[in-house]
Amino acid sequence: MKKYLLSSVLALTMAGACHEAFAQDFSRHFEDATLRLDYIFAGNNNSQAIYLDRMKSQTGWYGRRTNMNCLPLQGNGTITVTDATGTDTLYMHSFSTLFQEWQSTEEATRVAKSFENTFLIPMPKESVQVTVELKNMHNGTKSYLKHTVDPDDRLISKHSENETLPYRYLHKAGDSKEKIDIVFVPEGYTRDEMKQFRKDCMESMESIFRHQPFNRLKDRFNFIAVEVPSEHSGVSIPKNNDWKSTAVGSHFDTFYSERYLTTSNIKKLYDILDGIPCESIVILANTNEYGGGGIYNNYMLSASRGPGYKSVIVHEFGHSFAGLADEYFYDDQYVTIYPAGIEPWEQNLTTLTDFGSKWKDMLPKGTEIPTVADGKDRYTKVGVYEGGGYQSKGVYRPAQDCRMHTNQAPDFCPVCQRAIERLVNFLCHED
């Protein structure tokens, strides 16, 4: 599924080593609790600003407790927690946003808009500085907001555990504080359709687990389903003038692109998730309409029925969980997303600017660059095939076909598989 004009914000690859010298100790700096930070990102195509909206705490921290002060992937933006003096980095997290994608649309040239973004960080024991940065295509900071968080601030609201919505584990590999928690959220399922939602969750989870490396890494993941009914069945389809009242108010036609299904109601989404262990969000939309969208460390949304929906779910999960890029391209090359001279941060594309940081070590001896697509071993033969990231020229992908390329590919290509496995190892600290 097309991620649409993903933000042109590109950066270097693996975001560098952890800041060595600083010995990490989760419990020295953080409580076993979560601080939810809601922000507003606002602007147009050439200016932007970040505002803090509100803060909320809840018991339990379910994110990683290792590799706290470094990133597995650069993403298009970062949130960084330092001590009060700004000397030691205590926690980092990267992400991409719908806002940055929107900034590359025509609409952004004529109107300024605001978008919600929410991040979860471990609750600090003492005052800290929090910095949110949005990057430009040269890996420079385009805008940032730095603010202090005092854990004793009485205006940090508190989530009451008895307000947590009902949820259940569909697959439990272990304690949520040790495993990666993926949460299914129902969108457009009425109260009477919750049984269908449970069935759709199981099929979606099984689709993900049928792909490598998720299959062999099953013991690292918990899958959870939260049950929240929508007033109406189905989701909004603006091109049909069909608007519905649903749990997170998603709709097709995002940025006027028919199949792009997203929600802008991020605070509403996190209101549903408050109190539930959650590191990655999978929103299942109760519709036969083909479509979806996935944004790195933000959420993915996909139709949960209709032709090819299982492939779409796995593809979008590749975006939202693993930060993988689209490997398909358009021959008319109407847009340049990955300019020459800048290496994308996504692990499954290269502009050959810094190919050594990508899958060069996986190339069979004697592989020509670029590699001719001969139709043989389409999914498994690693090469440097021109065309990817929507561009037919100047961007290269690792295999002729892959789950990040077409719905017909039976699995992720070897390079995508390695990228996912590295990320899981980073999050679970098992090498």
309-320 vs 194-209: helix axis angle to the nearest 10? 70
CB 204 → Zn ion: shortest distance, Å? 20
Q: Does 90 bind Zn ion (CB under 5 A)?
A: no
Q: Does 404 bind Zn ion (CB under 5 A)?
A: yes
Our CB check for Zn ion shows the closer of 301 and 402 to be: 402
CB 292 → Zn ion: shortest distance, Å? 18
Q: Which stretch binds Zn ion (CB under 5 A): 124-132, 242-250, 356-364, 395-403?
A: 395-403
Sign of CA dihedral 48, 52, 54, 59: positive
Count, residues near Zn ion per rule CB under 5 A: 5
Q: Does 402 bind Zn ion (CB under 5 A)?
A: yes
Q: Which stretch binds Zn ion (CB under 5 A): 53-61, 190-198, 399-407, 420-428?
A: 399-407
Q: Does 314 bind Zn ion (CB under 5 A)?
A: no
Contact 14, 73 (CB under 8 A): yes
CB 381 → Zn ion: shortest distance, Å? 12
Question: Which residues between 166 and 225 bind Zn ion (CB under 5 A)?
Answer: none
Q: Does 1 bind Zn ion (CB under 5 A)?
A: no
Quick one: which H or E segment has residue 130? strand 128-135
One of 94, 104, 246, 348 touching Zn ion (CB under 5 A): 348
Q: Does 416 bind Zn ion (CB under 5 A)?
A: yes
Contact 230, 285 (CB under 8 A): no
- For 249-315, the DSSP string reads --BS-GGG-TTB-B---HHHHHHHHTTS--SEEEEEE--SS--EEEETTTEEEEESSSTTHHHHHHH
Our CB check for Zn ion shows the closer of 234 and 383 to be: 383
Burial class (CB in 10 A: 0-12, 13-18, 19+), 207: middle
Our CB check for Zn ion shows the closer of 43 and 292 to be: 292
- Cα-Cα-Cα-Cα torsion 343, 346, 349, 353, nearest 10 degrees, comes to 10
CB 403 → Zn ion: shortest distance, Å? 7
> Which positions touch Zn ion (CB under 5 A)?
348, 402, 404, 413, 416
